[in-house]
Structure 1
Amino acid sequence: MHYKELKQAWAQLTAPGAPFEIAEVEVRGVKLRAYKNAPPSVREFWLSTAAFGERDYLVYQDERLTYAQAHAQVAAVANWMLRQGVKPGDRVAIAMRNYPEWLLIYWACVCVGVAAVGMNAWWVADEMEYALQDSAPKILFLDRERLQRVHERPAMAEGIKLVGVRIEDAPAGLTPWAEVVATGGPLPEVKVDPDDDACIFYTSGTTGRPKGAQLTHRGCINNLFNLVFSGQSQALATALGTGVPIDPNAPAPIPVALLTTPLFHVTANNCGAYLVTAAGGKLVLMYRWDAGEALRLIEKEKVSAMSGVPVMSRELLTHPDFAKTDTSTLLSLGGGGAALQPDLVAKIDEQVATARPNTGYGMTETCGIITSVSGDLFVGKPASCGPAMPNFETRIVGDDGQELPQGQVGELWVRGAPVIKGYINRPDATAQSITDGWLHTGDVARIDEDGFIYIVDRKKDMVLRGGENVYCAEVEACVHHHPAVAECCVFGVPDTRLGEEVAAAIVLRPGQELHVEALREHCEAHISKHKIPRYVWFLKDPIPRNANGKFLKRELRETLKLDDAQAVLV
């Protein structure tokens, strides 16, 4: 399966003078591995894509935007923001669906040293208010649905300039998008430091509130280089293994990617959008995920790559229209944000004649991928998520904090240029998660003799529902706010479609009653719908605990049967 050849390819591509040469740089007092040839900031990267001119860049329903048009609008947005008094180092928030404007605002922000705050579009008013207070943006770009959340709680947007995107009948106090892009002008000249914040992406916190991760320009660019390196190293390994050389004069194919996951996540933004933009490719956006619509777009736009959470690939393959849809342009199909199950790896390889399976493992805290694998290398080790990229050092660490020998199971720690600066306003959380540059991933793993990583469990108390991290503590805190609840324990249960679903065991206070409809209503006011428990058991006995007073979640998973759930929230 060319694992020996992969090591040879790796050595060739990262050698001194090679395109992916690795150097050590000092960042925040720690020496980190980074790509020597990486541009210093995302600004330089975006400017380089102006060369793609009249190629299609963004496609959304019947709308098309070329690279030239996108560059003009990005410059206009940047000029408008600076005229509003926004300065490098400030923050600007984006709260909307995957509209083309999302990416235009993002590129405008990073080009003038402003951190783009990606607001989770699933958030309810309570969550949105928290993130706005935490990140303190000067401007909030939002669509109609997010504007409704602001109207529910107007105080959350006090002191923030609001811009309405795709809101034709803009109410007073809301600047219309058309006014912003009418500003025009060339992109302002701004010097951006590699370690400035490029964006703030929120990741659910174990303490009940999400944490704003600071993704730097250096981290985002190093993640892009990881993505490109992964493709080139595996192609070179295959060439070395088969004896069929790569033609250096062959024109590079122009990628067409279907973006299926939200742009406020690193999966769609830092991995999907960055990689395709770097190659001058076309990004096809969707209003919401629908397997039938995805198949239609794959055929119409000649999509070459689709990556989302694994359930999306599975739903594509099992859709009634799959057999009659032309998917011959697909070259890769896979998933991230959750493990790609071994059976799905085989199904992709067998059912899509032109496509090879691929996956990556990463985190918001690493600006994107830590590992990546595809094709024969993935088929040969379908339970693995691939080797860590060259700008990462890796450790497997035991409970005592000591590094374990190769092959043993422990927590995965990684260190390298893509690791975030920290969490805004949360020095305690930063200190707990990052030690001397080493990020504690919270994932239990092992590394085999070829350097391939296998994620075997999670150390963190969370449910991975369709690629979304749902932290049990956050949901428990919400349920406990209900006056009828005495105890609540939230945990994950297996789900064939989403991988895991959220479940809760609840003990009520003496003499209290709580109906499932009232519980749902209570939860909807405080947390996003995807976090609300799908399965609920109202227990008469106290929830079992260990000697330290912690709930025995494994025991609950084993003893509480889904068929016996006293209430099921749909």
Structure 2
Amino acid sequence: MNDIAKRLQACTEQLCQVGAPFEICSSTDSGLQEYKNAPATMRELVDAGRAHGEQEFLVYQQKRLSFTQFFDKVDALGHYLINNKAIAKGERVAIAMRNCPEWMVAYAAIVSVGAVVVPLNSWGSADELSYCLKDAGAKLLICDPARLQLTKPLLKSLNCQAIVTGDNSNTDESIGNFDDIITQNRGKALPTTACAANDIAQIMYTSGTTGRPKGAVSSHKNICQAIYSFEFHAICSAMANPKAIEKMFAGGFAPCTLLSVPLFHVSGCYAAFLLNLRGGRKTVMMYKWSPEEALELISKERVTIFSAVPSMVMDLLRHPDVDSSDTSSLFSLGGGGAACPPAFKETISNTLSSSYVGTGYGMTESNAICASCTGDAFMYKPDSAGILSPLVEWQTRDEQGQPLPAGASGEIWLKSVCNIKQYWNKPDANNINFDGNWMATGDIGYLDEENFVYLVGRAKDLIIRGGENIYPAEIEACLSLHPSISEAAIIAVPDERLGEVPGAVIKPRDGAEICHDDIKSYLSNKLAAYKIPQNIWISSQDLPRNASGKILKSELVRQYID
């Protein structure tokens, strides 16, 4: 075993032993490994942030909030949810908005009063948002004006009320105004609701192979153990990389994170928002990604930590203004949410060669926990997704679902206390993807002899565009309804910046004429913009199929891409 792997193993054993801060024990109800000292409920997890008082917590455009000011808003909204909206324990409250302070306040308030938070993809279309609201049975939606416009016509039929942020033009008295609610309830106590560790805390929607999103159901314990696992990794990596940490402290900059990824993803919600809330670190939040604005914020706010999908990190470091910008505070760089391309390490080495770099592997269904590596471990095996978490058991299986020998490549199955409980209202998907405490990931990979995780492909044809999951079945279903299209297939097209993007191969109906612009215009009313194929090929031939009638996408890739 390499010295780096030995060092990490020793640090893990030290931190996880009996009596240590991250002592691991066996759960009394499931037998799964868990951190003994992790918070039991989301309220306990969130409330840790109150200890940081008047320290600055959040910077967003012209707004600045201390931890105390943030929790004042959380308490006001939580009081309103219980006393004015009669939100009961276990009822679903959805959030649909782009990154803003109100998103964070809403999330913390909802989970703190025992309700179930339902973060929705703010990039979604009206149809996608309404489907999720209906599927979750949301009683209340907290949204921004843009999402209100998309969902308002359907709220009454869904029996769902709404609160809108910053919309002074709204005249519908049935829709509450976020700022007014905070003002009217400021100073009121946050109600107490008794919650158990295994109660449902969150339903986070993730795209499904059927073309409709699936609600990933997490308990308080699932998320609390995941956040504690992030904290373990940070400390373990610091112990294993003492020279890098010494350099960080020598810089004299207080820890500060640039949050540029969406809060409705586990990466933004967990690795930035909740970790910084608990850890007393300042968060500088962006409404949407812009490398120019990011460079300005890094310089102005003395940002030390920037973690995003690899394409965003490379956007920043390849920007023509990077050399003239003051990035002296920037110490830690992370790439997650999508596979790190070979250019990721090269770009960092050429631009910020002394930075503390990391990556990881997880998904919504594992609450972002599986593997991670930072510093020397990343440089040792940059093609790896990191070392397996001490909470996670690993298994690869063949196409018949049989376990494979250690080190063999196959579909990855995980057993972990961080895994979601189930998919909401999806018994068929649950039967396919869960086997007792084991959960299928849909990814193909292997675990090497030093406990490093490697990903070599995907069992299904998921496309990850700059960290956004796109399932071809959803796009294909829309195209199949076009009157001039006979058949269509969506394939992954490599993209230097985003990793991969969807491409469409289309066979028109006999006698029909169709062009690229027609297809894009047709899809623009049915899908979020990031799902619309930019690469479209019109085929005069029938698409290749196998003996069972399935389209051979590998053949299409060979014809149009390779």
- Into which bin does the TM-score normalised by the smaller protein fall? over 0.9
- The CA distance in 1 between the partners of 2:124 and 2:487, in whole Å, is 25
Partner of 1:2, secondary structure, is helix
CA positional deviation for 1:265:
0.5
Aligned to 2:513: 513
Aligned to 1:565: none
Aligned residues: 555
- The CA distance in 2 between the partners of 1:245 and 1:351, in whole Å, is 20
Aligned to 2:194: 191
Distance change in 2, residues 1:69/1:157 (3 Å) = farther
- The CA distance in 2 between the partners of 1:400 and 1:417, in whole Å, is 25
Aligned to 2:89: 88
- The 5-angstrom pairing of residues 207-246 of structure 1 reads 207-239=210-242
- The 5-angstrom pairing of residues 296-307 of structure 1 reads 296-307=296-307
CA positional deviation for 1:360:
1.2
**What are the Cα deviations for residues 300-323 of structure 1, in whole angstroms up to 9, with x where unaligned?**
111111111101110111111101
- Larger mean CA deviation between 157-166 and 319-328 belongs to 157-166
Query: Which structure 1 segments of 5+ residues have no match?
Result: 563-570
- The CA distance in 2 between the partners of 1:252 and 1:11, in whole Å, is 31
- Larger mean CA deviation between 255-264 and 100-109 belongs to 255-264
CA positional deviation for 1:197:
2.0
Match of 1:23 among 17, 22, 25: 25
Aligned to 2:181: 180
Aligned to 1:476: 476
**What are the Cα deviations for residues 422-474 of structure 1, in whole angstroms up to 9, with x where unaligned?**
11111211221111111111111111111000101010221111111100111
- Larger mean CA deviation between 296-305 and 177-186 belongs to 177-186
CA positional deviation for 1:92:
0.6
- The CA distance in 1 between the partners of 2:128 and 2:57, in whole Å, is 33
**What are the Cα deviations for residues 163-201 of structure 1, in whole angstroms up to 9, with x where unaligned?**
110112222132111222121311111122112222211
CA positional deviation for 1:77:
0.5
- Structure 1 contact 330–354 (Cα < 8 Å) conserved: no
Aligned to 2:498: 498
**What are the Cα deviations for residues 77-102 of structure 1, in whole angstroms up to 9, with x where unaligned?**
01101121110100111111101000
Partner of 1:82, secondary structure, is helix
Aligned to 2:288: 288
Match of 1:201 among 190, 194, 204: 204
- Structure 1 contact 255–279 (Cα < 8 Å) conserved: no
Q: Write the letter of the residue equivalent to 1:473.
A: A
Distance change in 2, residues 1:393/1:253 (3 Å) = farther
- Structure 1 contact 236–246 (Cα < 8 Å) conserved: no
Aligned to 2:150: 149
CA positional deviation for 1:156:
6.5
Aligned to 1:261: 261
Q: Write the letter of the residue equivalent to 1:166.
A: G
Aligned to 1:324: 324
- Structure 1 contact 254–280 (Cα < 8 Å) conserved: no
1:98 aligns with 2:94: no
TM-score normalised to structure 2 length: 0.95
Partner of 2:369, secondary structure, is strand
- The CA distance in 2 between the partners of 1:331 and 1:192, in whole Å, is 39
Partner of 2:333, secondary structure, is strand
Aligned to 1:485: 485
CA positional deviation for 1:416:
1.0
CA positional deviation for 1:341:
2.0
CA positional deviation for 1:330:
1.4
- The CA distance in 1 between the partners of 2:141 and 2:296, in whole Å, is 34
CA positional deviation for 1:343:
3.1
- Larger mean CA deviation between 447-456 and 397-406 belongs to 397-406
Runs of 4+ in structure 1 deviating by more than 3 angstroms, as ranges, are 153-158, 244-247, 249-254
Aligned to 2:385: 385
- Larger mean CA deviation between 174-183 and 74-83 belongs to 174-183
Query: Which structure 2 segments of 5+ residues have no match?
Result: none
Aligned to 1:129: 130
Aligned to 2:417: 417
Distance change in 2, residues 1:117/1:456 (3 Å) = same
CA positional deviation for 1:406:
2.4
Partner of 2:361, secondary structure, is strand
- Structure 1 contact 133–156 (Cα < 8 Å) conserved: no
- The CA distance in 1 between the partners of 2:318 and 2:245, in whole Å, is 36
Partner of 2:396, secondary structure, is strand
- The CA distance in 2 between the partners of 1:113 and 1:9, in whole Å, is 36
- The CA distance in 1 between the partners of 2:240 and 2:54, in whole Å, is 34
- Structure 1 contact 113–192 (Cα < 8 Å) conserved: yes
- Larger mean CA deviation between 307-316 and 189-198 belongs to 189-198
1:7 aligns with 2:9: yes
Q: Write the letter of the residue equivalent to 2:437.
A: G
Aligned to 2:467: 467
CA positional deviation for 1:328:
1.5
Aligned to 1:435: 435
- The CA distance in 2 between the partners of 1:32 and 1:472, in whole Å, is 35
Partner of 1:455, secondary structure, is strand
Partner of 1:137, secondary structure, is coil
CA positional deviation for 1:22:
1.2
- Larger mean CA deviation between 516-525 and 206-215 belongs to 516-525
Distance change in 2, residues 1:459/1:131 (3 Å) = same
**What are the Cα deviations for residues 252-288 of structure 1, in whole angstroms up to 9, with x where unaligned?**
9852111111111101002221211121111111111
- Structure 2 contact 397–404 (Cα < 8 Å) conserved: yes
TM-score normalised to structure 1 length: 0.94
**What are the Cα deviations for residues 502-532 of structure 1, in whole angstroms up to 9, with x where unaligned?**
0111112212222323322221222111111
- Structure 1 contact 215–421 (Cα < 8 Å) conserved: yes
- Structure 1 contact 95–140 (Cα < 8 Å) conserved: yes
Aligned to 1:555: 555
Q: Write the letter of the residue equivalent to 1:36.
A: K
- The CA distance in 1 between the partners of 2:211 and 2:344, in whole Å, is 33
- Structure 1 contact 92–117 (Cα < 8 Å) conserved: yes
Q: Write the letter of the residue equivalent to 1:368.
A: A
- The CA distance in 1 between the partners of 2:301 and 2:253, in whole Å, is 15
- The CA distance in 2 between the partners of 1:126 and 1:453, in whole Å, is 37
**What are the Cα deviations for residues 488-507 of structure 1, in whole angstroms up to 9, with x where unaligned?**
11110111111101011111
- Structure 1 contact 2–238 (Cα < 8 Å) conserved: no
- Structure 1 contact 255–276 (Cα < 8 Å) conserved: no
Partner of 2:414, secondary structure, is strand
How many percent identity over aligned positions? 39
Aligned to 1:568: none
- Structure 1 contact 309–467 (Cα < 8 Å) conserved: yes
Q: Write the letter of the residue equivalent to 1:25.
A: S
Partner of 1:368, secondary structure, is coil
Partner of 1:12, secondary structure, is helix
- Structure 2 contact 253–304 (Cα < 8 Å) conserved: no
- Structure 2 contact 253–329 (Cα < 8 Å) conserved: no
CA positional deviation for 1:246:
8.7
- Structure 2 contact 307–335 (Cα < 8 Å) conserved: yes
- Structure 1 contact 411–444 (Cα < 8 Å) conserved: yes
- Structure 2 contact 494–501 (Cα < 8 Å) conserved: yes
